[in-house]
Chain A
Amino acid sequence: MDTLIPLIEAQNLVKRFGEKTAVDQATFTVNSGEIYGFLGPNGAGKTTTIKMISGLLRPTSGSIRVAGFDVQAQALQAKASCGYVPDEPNLYPKLTGRELLQFVGDLFGLDRLQINRRTEELFRLFDLEEARDDLIDSYSHGMRQKTALAAALMHDPRVLVLDEPTVGLDPKSARLIKDILRQMADRGSAVFLSTHILEIAERMCDRIGIIYQGKLIAQGTMQQLRSLGNGEATLEDIFLELTGGAEYAEIAEVLK
């Protein structure tokens, strides 16, 4: 494999909302050709971190570089290199799928021919050809999710950041997205995704980071994470141990 190029570099990343510290001194790197899974319980700081990487949220302190560009100082270059898929696919309901992709293509400065070619390719890839001239208003959740991913792929980004990309998708679409992410990584892109589905993280991700109460408490390959326990633990065991498995045991008791 080629030399690894760091495409996402977060250094001592902090985000405070008033008194609350959502992300606390997070430091991590995602290299080219790598899928990085970002895990954590609800409210741990996953979405806040993702929003800072995508330039949606300004860090309180620390720095992030995307494709070598500082997200704060060189925001436009960083954004031009990055594709972002939010957890909720909020898209303009009164645009058609095609109009949305053309709009995104314009935002990323693609020329008309590129936009038209890429739009057709992506609609075909995501099996949305029949719905491309319908208003997004009429799309199902899964179709919106796929359209949001298509929009993120319009400019063929070097860095792809996804917040819970498989939520609400049927198995076929979820598989398609997993395949696309793997292909992107194999072509040298960096993929950063958050998920609650530990099986996806275990199977898909080259490295995994676990965030808990704003702190990045563990990161590494599955092998490295296993070494934290008895060497044979599953990701679920490791996750529960690091993020408070005792609480889950109590929940099981209540539901008994």
Chain B
Amino acid sequence: MSSPTAVVQASLWSAVWKLLRLRALITFNNIRRAKTRSKIGYAILGLLILAALAGIFIVSWLLLGLLRSPEVARYINPSELIANVPVWVLTAAFFGLLLTSFGVLLQSLYLAADMDFLLSAPVSMRAVFLSKLIQAILPDLGLVSLFGLPVLFGLGAAMKFSLLYYPLVLAVFLGVAIIASSIASLVVMAVVRLFPARRVAEVLGFFGALLSLVCSQSGQLINTVRVNQGQVSGALGSLSQVNSPWSPLAWAGQGLLNVANGDWLAGLGSIFLFLGISGGIFFAALVTAERLYYIGWARVQVGGRKKRIVHQIQPRLNTKQTPLMAAANLIPSVVRSVTAKDFRTIRRDLRNMSQIIAPLIFGLIYAFSFARGGGYFGRGEAPQAFNRVLQIVIVDANTGFAIFFSWAVLSRLALMSFSQEGKQYWLLKSSPATPVQLVAAKYWVAYIPGVLLGSLFLLMVSLVQRSTPISIAFGLVVIVFGLAGAAGVSLAFGIANVNLKWEDPRRMVRGTGGCLAMIVSMAYIAGILALFFGPPIIFSLVGWDENLGRLVGLALGIPASLLCAVLPPRLLMNKVALIGEE
């Protein structure tokens, strides 16, 4: 048998091409070997992206076309705004790309764990770094172009710019992406020198989730804010500051406008200067990153970083046992320890926290809205019976909202109950813990935060709205029992859809199972609220004592809640004994 001989990859671009082809092959394999429903999902996503591109283009075209309207000219200076639009778009694209490239490069340089494999191959180090940077640039460029390109193309269409404007927009976008990714590669190395890469990824994921939620709910916040013309002008004035003569992005933006308006020489000069700078930054970053990685600067954490130590509270001797401690001791030690362990691990992993932060933000925004709305129940001229029913409905709506927010936290915790054990499940599986004990512990982990959050929200809103003590007490009972049932229903799905084979905690709850669980537990919430609140509303409508109606509601709702708390997990107890044996 003849021995194979290793061939050194002398050509830089040939090696880069091979590395990029490898990445393309992995991506293609992921799509090709995906389940049919995932492929359909990819196809739908592609169509949605195309639709979004078209939508943003048309909206930009129409809105920017309005700048010619004399009505608009009364409020703002259209020519000043047009002069600023390209710079604003390019600046937004730059910061968006900086953030996304940071995440992509963190993953590909530090978390993908393929760097040593690639660097040990007979290809030049530059080829490896070049391919990594290109891998960071391409997807992010696509993503940012999705929002930025249609706006600039829409501007061109609305203002009837020359045809050369359009390819130059593409070239400028590429330059922006190159600058952002180059800077991001160096920032990643500097950050990872100070903090562990996995921790940085956790923090990034947490703030990403937080930011997207705040953005998605910004409409709710804006509804509570009154904006006048002066503030609009002030905001536009502040935004104009980014169009500084010292910013290369401003040169590119201005260059585009010059070309669009027929000032070819000045326009092309500015754009080529910008592209030259972006090429220079790219080369400098490439050489620096390569060197920092090779000499080890970017691979060793230093900088006086304090070792993270979780301080242990030493058990105090000869202390009296408080009633709470005595009560806690009644709970089996396995249940207590698994519950405590889960609270610790969930709290310490920001990727978990980013999953449950959403309901908290919703809760805060709606609580803020309620607080600003005050507590007014109907107008004075409405019939008294109507006002009373409205009052019950509004107070009940508070309880409903409280249950909804806390249900969102609770269901997430219940769905990830067993799945969160992941590869560590062997510790529980090989211990003498019974399935009932494990289910009980997981139940408390889901239920306790949910019920605390719901009760707190209800108390806060009820105090603002000056609800009666009876209605507050009734709402609290509904929350305590209603969520007990919700925890049982969601936990059953958490057991049935357990997934121990995850790498990223955000993917521990599988799509279909999680979706079905949400639908079923939402149906439960609707049903249980109808049982609790139906009787007092009906009693009030027919003129009977609403407190009697509340008692009837409790008589119907509490047994139903308890049944749902116990029965669904009980039915799956045999499945718990088999978890981890696939």
Q: Which residue of A lies closest to B348 (CB)?
A: A94
Q: Which residue of A lies closest to B341 (CB)?
A: A103
B333 contacts A109, CB within 8 Å?
Answer: yes
Cα separation A226 to B333 with both chains bound (whole Å): 50
Q: Which residue of B lies closest to A255 (CB)?
A: B3
Q: Which of A94, A98, A106 contacts B337 (CB 8 A)?
A: A106
B309 contacts A134, CB within 8 Å?
Answer: yes
A103 contacts B337, CB within 8 Å?
Answer: yes
Cα separation A148 to B88 with both chains bound (whole Å): 55
* Distance of B528 from chain A, by nearest CB (Å): 34
Q: Which residue of A lies closest to B333 (CB)?
A: A106
Q: Which residue of B lies closest to A58 (CB)?
A: B581
State whether the Cβ of B429 lies closer than 8 Å to any Cβ in chain A: yes
Q: Which of B196, B344, B427 contacts A94 (CB 8 A)?
A: B344
Task: Give residues of chain B (175-228) contacting chain A, Cβ–Cβ below 8 Å.
Answer: 196, 198
B315 contacts A112, CB within 8 Å?
Answer: yes
A92 contacts B308, CB within 8 Å?
Answer: no
Binds B, one of A30-38, A81-89, A198-206: A81-89
Q: Which of A57, A95, A134 contacts B341 (CB 8 A)?
A: A95
Q: Which of B1, B308, B432 contacts A107 (CB 8 A)?
A: B432
State whether the Cβ of A137 lies closer than 8 Å to any Cβ in chain B: yes
Q: Which residue of B lies closest to A56 (CB)?
A: B429
B430 contacts A133, CB within 8 Å?
Answer: no
Cα separation A102 to B430 with both chains bound (whole Å): 16
Task: Give residues of chain B (423-463) contacting chain A, Cβ–Cβ below 8 Å.
Answer: 423-424, 426-434
B-side contacts of A103, CB under 8 Å? 337-338, 340-341
Cα separation A118 to B33 with both chains bound (whole Å): 50
Binds B, one of A72-80, A187-195, A212-220, A240-248: A72-80
Q: Which residue of A lies closest to B337 (CB)?
A: A106
Chain A count of residues within 8 A CB distance of the other chain: 40
Cα separation A224 to B167 with both chains bound (whole Å): 81
* Distance of B139 from chain A, by nearest CB (Å): 29
A106 contacts B430, CB within 8 Å?
Answer: no
Q: Which residue of B lies closest to A110 (CB)?
A: B333
Q: Which residue of B lies closest to A131 (CB)?
A: B307
Q: Which residue of B lies closest to A113 (CB)?
A: B315
A-B contact pairs, 14 of them (CB 8 A): A75-B432, A79-B430, A92-B427, A94-B348, A95-B345, A103-B337, A103-B338, A107-B432, A108-B432, A109-B333, A109-B334, A134-B309, A135-B348, A138-B307
B-side contacts of A253, CB under 8 Å? 1
> Closest 9 interchain pairs by CB?
A106-B337, A90-B423, A94-B348, A107-B431, A80-B432, A76-B432, A84-B430, A79-B432, A94-B345
Cα separation A116 to B313 with both chains bound (whole Å): 12
B310 contacts A88, CB within 8 Å?
Answer: no
State whether the Cβ of A54 lies closer than 8 Å to any Cβ in chain B: yes
Task: Give residues of chain B (301-317) contacting chain A, Cβ–Cβ below 8 Å.
Answer: 307-312, 315
Task: Give residues of chain B (321-348) contacting chain A, Cβ–Cβ below 8 Å.
Answer: 333-334, 336-338, 340-341, 344-345, 348
B-side contacts of A84, CB under 8 Å? 426, 430
B312 contacts A98, CB within 8 Å?
Answer: yes
A-side contacts of B336, CB under 8 Å? 106
Assuming the contacts A56-B429, A92-B341, A107-B431, asked whether A137 and B333 have C-beta atoms less than 8 A apart, the reply is: no
Q: Which residue of B lies closest to A116 (CB)?
A: B315
What sequence of 0s and 1s flags, for each residue 553-582 of chain B, a beta carbon within 8 Å of any chain A beta carbon? 000000000000000000000000010110
State whether the Cβ of A151 lies closer than 8 Å to any Cβ in chain B: yes
A134 contacts B581, CB within 8 Å?
Answer: no
A-side contacts of B545, CB under 8 Å? none
A91 contacts B427, CB within 8 Å?
Answer: yes
A54 contacts B430, CB within 8 Å?
Answer: yes
B-side contacts of A138, CB under 8 Å? 196, 307-308
State whether the Cβ of B349 lies closer than 8 Å to any Cβ in chain A: yes
State whether the Cβ of A254 lies closer than 8 Å to any Cβ in chain B: yes
B344 contacts A95, CB within 8 Å?
Answer: yes
State whether the Cβ of A167 lies closer than 8 Å to any Cβ in chain B: no
B581 contacts A99, CB within 8 Å?
Answer: no
* Distance of B326 from chain A, by nearest CB (Å): 14
B308 contacts A135, CB within 8 Å?
Answer: yes
* Distance of A76 from chain B, by nearest CB (Å): 4
* Distance of A143 from chain B, by nearest CB (Å): 13
A-side contacts of B312, CB under 8 Å? 96, 98-99, 133
State whether the Cβ of A55 lies closer than 8 Å to any Cβ in chain B: yes
State whether the Cβ of A104 lies closer than 8 Å to any Cβ in chain B: yes
Q: Which residue of B lies closest to A254 (CB)?
A: B1
B-side contacts of A107, CB under 8 Å? 333-334, 337-338, 427-428, 431-433
- For the A-B complex with A90-B423, A99-B344, A106-B334 known, give 17 more contacts whose Cβ atoms are closer than 8 Å: A56-B430, A57-B581, A76-B432, A79-B430, A84-B426, A86-B426, A90-B424, A92-B424, A99-B312, A103-B341, A104-B427, A107-B333, A107-B431, A109-B432, A133-B312, A135-B310, A138-B307
Q: Which of A57, A76, A86, A102 contacts B434 (CB 8 A)?
A: A76
The CB with the most chain B CB atoms within 10 A, among A54, A92, A138, A253, is that of A92
Cα separation A75 to B430 with both chains bound (whole Å): 9
Cα separation A106 to B335 with both chains bound (whole Å): 9
Cα separation A160 to B514 with both chains bound (whole Å): 39
A-side contacts of B340, CB under 8 Å? 103
* Distance of A30 from chain B, by nearest CB (Å): 17
A133 contacts B426, CB within 8 Å?
Answer: no
Cα separation A92 to B581 with both chains bound (whole Å): 19
* Distance of B447 from chain A, by nearest CB (Å): 20
A92 contacts B345, CB within 8 Å?
Answer: yes
Q: Which of B337, B344, B580 contacts A56 (CB 8 A)?
A: B580
